[in-house]
Amino acid sequence: MISPRALIFVAVALAGFIGAASEAWAHPHVFVVVKSELIFDAQGKVSGIRHAWTFDEMYSSFVTTGLTADGAVASDAQLQPVAETNVGDLAENSYITVTKSPGQKVEFDKPKDIGMSEGADKLVTLRFTLPLKQALSAGKCFTLQVSDPSYFVAFDFAKTDAVKLVSPPSGCSLSVVQPKPLEDTEAKKLSEAYFSGLSPGSDFGIKLASRAILACP
């Protein structure tokens, strides 16, 4: 089991992870590579989202400190309490998962399949599935973004295989759109906020997040 000391460190990190206590930080201090899967049900509707988030070297080291001796890779069992704490604390921010579907309300059910693993490269990956309370049609458009509103954590889709479709109906199309560069005034505001210790605003995270767009016939 993870030590109480490690749990304290993780709790401190999570305060920034969910933006609960770090709105003064303007620039990201944790970097995450995102891979997601859109899961379809038998009726061809989107029924859930499966995430795999790989954290940067610094945060990964932070999480695994004290879990093993001699630099050994931490086991999934050792990391399980960390995974459950991370996902549980993300609930108040809708799991940092922003979805939209015209004319339909997107609501998440309780996460499942929660786990965390450390790879040979010493980076940790958090995995969990978000079932939708009600499956949604992707006939018009379904969009997905992963974004920390405080911009303490920078989430970015992987360069390849960023989003996959699981059991989709025929004819679906998927594209990943990169964010537009910030306007000069916005970039200046972000920089000034960083050095003055003031938050640039809760919308910066979503402005700088990539967007996956799904459309099905």
Contact 65, 9 (CB under 8 A): yes
The confidence score (pLDDT) of residue 11 equals 40
- pTM above 0.95? no
Residue showing tokens 């767009």: 213
Other CB atoms closer than 10 Å to residue 154's CB: what's the count? 18
Low pLDDT (below 50) residues in the chain: 1-26, 195-196, 198, 200-201
The confidence score (pLDDT) of residue 200 equals 46
The confidence score (pLDDT) of residue 12 equals 40
Query: Rounded to the nearest 10 degrees, how much is the dihedral formed by the CA atoms of 14, 18, 24, 26?
Result: 110
Residue showing tokens 């200046």: 188
Q: Spell out the domain ranges in the chain.
A: 4-215
Residue showing tokens 């859930």: 48
Integer CA distances (angstroms), 184 to 100, 147, 154, 174, in order: 28, 22, 20, 31
* Average pLDDT for the chain: 81
* Token pair of 139 as six digits: 């006939």
The confidence score (pLDDT) of residue 17 equals 47
Question: CA neighbours within 13 Å on the CB side: how many for 77?
Answer: 2
The SS3 assignment for 95 reads helix
Alpha-carbon distance of 170 to 184, in angstroms, equals 43
Q: Which residues pair with 205 in a beta bridge?
A: none
Question: CA neighbours within 13 Å on the CB side: how many for 132?
Answer: 21
Bridge-based pairing of strands 163-166 and 46-55 is unpaired
